[in-house]
Structure 1
Amino acid sequence: MTEIAGASAQDLLTSLKKTDRMPVMFVGHGSPMNAIGDNEYRRSWQVLGAEFGSKYPVPQLILCISAHWLTEGWWLTAMDKPKTIHDFGGFPQELFDQQYPAPGHPTAARAISHLVRQRASAPLGLDVGEWGLDHGTWSVLKPMFPGADIPVIQLSMDYGRAPDEHYALAKQLKALRERGVLIVGSGNIVHNLRQMQRGAAGNQAYDWALEFDQTMGGYLQQGNLDSLQNFQKLGSLAKMAHPTHEHFLPLLYAAGAVDAKEPPRFFNTNFQGGSISMRSVVWG
């Protein structure tokens, strides 16, 4: 990975025209098998994708923050042709055969790098070849936008930073919505694989999983978005919901890019395996 200097962010942003304000999404992606299974999750992603061009403008660019790209510092994919990453194991060959050949957008990545600043005003790093599109990104975008003709950039997450630092950085993304950028956070509001019960129905969940999901859902419904960054203050409840919290952080990136008064629209408000919340939300 490398950092690239160059033209001003304003000059680079001319590659993205001003548009009506784009929505923001947080998608509970759950099992990678949802990408190919004929289930309610994949069908809901297909329905949502069909709303672009009618209910919502067609994105010029998709910026995705996936639970599966953790780095030191923050990085953006900045290659012309990001590869499809199969970052999982133990699944059928059909899943490994999946490709999502959406183009990248190096010029827009450079613009975002200089608009969204890390601590000490350093630009975001630009990855020109190491990463690509991991399954947190392509598993949900492929059903939504099967033509793979909209450029996609991934933003990594510095897992060594506190949640409030992620949320603060995310607030800088809001201006991109006026430039045709669809911001997508991809993770899960509850994610505890150790407690997963594979035979559980969608309406079955542990009490602690339900409590955490409903608490976060309440914050979202009330527009109390700032409280999301304090999820760890729930102590043992938060630790049960997230033994590690990389799947929660993408929610902060989505919430940081919206206004508290924007009403949320929930979908997929159930569970996989009793310990993975599929609750998803779109604003705008």
Structure 2
Amino acid sequence: MQSNGSAFERADPTPLPPGTRIAMALEYQGSAYRGWQRQDKPHVSSVQAAVESAVSHVAAQPVSILCAGRTDAGVHASHQVVHFDAPVARSAKAWLAGSNALLPNDVAAKWVRPVCEDFHARFSATARRYRYLILNQARRSAHLVGGVTHFDLPLDAELMHREAQCLLGEQDFSAFRAASCQSLSPMRNIHFISVTRFGRLVMIDIQGNAFLHHMVRNIAGVLMAVGSGQQSPGWTADVLATRDRTKGGVTAKPHGLYLVDVSYPDDYDLPKQSPGPEFIRAFVPA
């Protein structure tokens, strides 16, 4: 039986044969990167390039990595899942420790697992979960810069929560997708969404089968407009019904957005843990 990914877990030192498919969980602070996806220009940094460089050094040859969900510039992850096919014999311990020794300080591998060859970080996933963190106070915080979105008008978190419930279920989210979104369908299924206040921190917690480009940030922007009284209650449903992105107001900033969980069928037996980001676990229940 596999570990649940606890803070004191030790990766298995048993060598794995070449060709083993490896699943890896990552966390990263996205402020310094132009998003997850590797860029054509070598001077433009991406999380994918940083991870591939580290894993390739461990393998002593190039390794390509695929992720569960591509995060945008400035967006963070406390639980991104990737996979790659190991070109050489290495243990899970070697992949984990070696990668962490070579990764930049704002990217870390959390665990490594061998998985069956039909596992795919993106296509095997059944759900993604995001949290959007809003520091709701008059002044910004120097210590939380880049890690939260600062909003200086009072927010009614209970109203925002009620407002958000119209987004549940499978619906057309055209009004919440970026103009540059390349998805073939605007249909997405939202499993749950909640808005909760923890002191001066307001958290939007949302899970769905998948998300359109900028979808969570556009939802956050609409909910903040209603919660601050800049728009009337019911505006979220009105925007959704238009299926028109131009009716949905501004896109919320990326700083407060975290990919916090990716769900897979139990058959893959991947570690489970409470969603992050880690610095708010003392305040937010699992």
What TM-score do you get using the length of structure 1 for normalisation? 0.30
Larger Rg: 2
Q: Which has the higher strand share?
A: 2
Q: Which has the higher helix share?
A: 1
Higher relative contact order (CA 8 A, sep 6+): 1
